[in-house]
Structure 1
Amino acid sequence: MSASEEILDIVDENDVVVGQAPRGEAYARGLRHRCVFVLATDAQGRVFVHRRTATKLVFPSLYDMFVGGVVGAGESYDEAALREAEEELGVSGLPRPVPLFTFLYESEDGRQSWWSSVYEVRCELPVRPQEEEVAWHAFLPAAELERRIGEWEWVPDGLAAYERLRGRGAG
């Protein structure tokens, strides 16, 4: 099954499931669904940062300070956070990501909206990111990440999650 055929739960403004749709249709029609964002740090506290591949359905070739993705139909946020983190980092045996907060992301143009659950996890394993997902990656110290915020083009939903995380005194 291709990524665009993956079935997602469609949710309302209160994060209640109101239906299901293939991922491609959810994106094309702007149907609200669920996503997870996992801030992965290494043993030195550096943040895993990557540039998405040009073939991604959403936000191709942009930078992100989170690993993560959509929550599949019937899947919990917690299950999706662990699955997505292990998939994108290319590891197995990762500790269960710790949930931090949830927020409703809405794009500036109002055409994209998803409930977003933000997590953190420490990854002390050697990473082997998926080539089809990650074009470039590095673990960056917090100060360097902060410098890059104004220099690189970031995924808008990840940037929104990171700004909320910083506002909570973390990140």
Structure 2
Amino acid sequence: MTRVSPPLFAPEPPTWLAAARRAMQSPPRKPRLPLWVNGQAVGSLVEHFLIDTGIAGRLGGDALLSKRERSGTAVWLLESPTQDATALMGRLADALRDAGRSGPWRNEQLAVQAVDGSRIGTVERGAVRVLGIATLAVHLVGIAPDGRLWVQQRAANKANYPLHWDTLMGGMVSAQDSLDEALARETWEEAGLQITDLQGLRHGGVLRFRQPDSDGGDDLGYMYEDIHWYAATVPEGQVPRNQDGEVAQFALWQAAEVQQQLAQARFTPEAALVWAGFADWMT
């Protein structure tokens, strides 16, 4: 195995980190009510949003979205005697899109879990923030044998943070993937690298984001996401090559350059905190 020189980060946390950590654990800007689907709590919605937009009521067939009480607490209840959670969430996601209140539509399904962790269905990725549904993501820190670090610049057409810098790879865990499968798939799609060719792959930690999100506009979105980050060495001679059109370029930077760009907020907020974890600034 190739001998690896460790990247050299400053030992003390940088000044920007305290605000970034506060931001990742921020309450909603507007009151939210729990969202229940066929008797299972799965997310949350801004309190009066569905009434104000006219989405509440019949969503097609026998699907009904109404405000009820459960154990003395007001909730939004989406239910049907014949339609499963995936069909119901699909109808609600379509209604959000038609009202112009979803995030960017990706035609990608993400898992929907009940509060006990059991999977009850799937929903379009563009609806998860407005619906306050818990999501999973993966990031990969790529290290060159000489200690430099691989970074990617997001494409100009990305809906969120275009042309910002990111870790070597970062992506969502789709409904069809386990964490390991998402790590391998996203590493290939974004960087053209086979995860089995990387050296010293390790799971670095989990970052738990609970913060307002711009999807849907008008403070309707809320990000409830756990990001699992990993680190590995990209062997000598292997160069990342994007496969899905979502990356503008890759670069190899010294740790000092990464720190400088972090201080100037040139990375996405999620990537910035992954770098903080990698640099041992989060302990």
TM over 0.5: yes
State which of 202, 223, 245 in structure 2 corresponds to 1:98. 202
Residue 278 of structure 2 aligns with which residue?
165
Instruction: Note if contact 2:139-2:227 (Cα within 8 Å) is conserved in structure 1.
Output: yes
Corresponding position: 1:4 with 2:106:
yes
Residue 120 of structure 1 aligns with which residue?
231
Corresponding position: 1:82 with 2:195:
no
If the length of structure 2 is used for normalisation, what is the TM-score? 0.52
Give a deviation string over 1:2-28, Cα, whole Å, max 9, x none: x71111113467866454211122245
User: More relative contact order in 1 or in 2 (CA 8 Å, sep 6+)?
Assistant: 1
Give a deviation string over 1:98-119, Cα, whole Å, max 9, x none: 2121231223567222111010
Larger-Rg structure: 2
Letter matched to residue 60 of structure 1: P
Say if 1:48 and 1:13 are closer, same or farther in 2 by CA, change over 3 A. farther
Letter matched to residue 53 of structure 1: A
Give the secondary-structure state (helix, strand or coil) at the position aligned to 2:271: helix
Say if 1:115 and 1:36 are closer, same or farther in 2 by CA, change over 3 A. same
Give a deviation string over 1:29-84, Cα, whole Å, max 9, x none: 44321100110112212111121112223332221124120111141111211221
Distance 2:268 2:234 in 1: 22
Give the secondary-structure state (helix, strand or coil) at the position aligned to 1:112: strand
Task: Structure 1 unaligned segments of length 5 or more: list them.
Answer: none
Give the secondary-structure state (helix, strand or coil) at the position aligned to 2:186: helix
Task: Structure 2 unaligned segments of length 5 or more: list them.
Answer: 1-104, 214-220
Distance 1:148 1:82 in 2: 27
Say if 1:68 and 1:81 are closer, same or farther in 2 by CA, change over 3 A. same
Letter matched to residue 150 of structure 1: A
Letter matched to residue 20 of structure 1: T
RMSD after superposition = 2.7
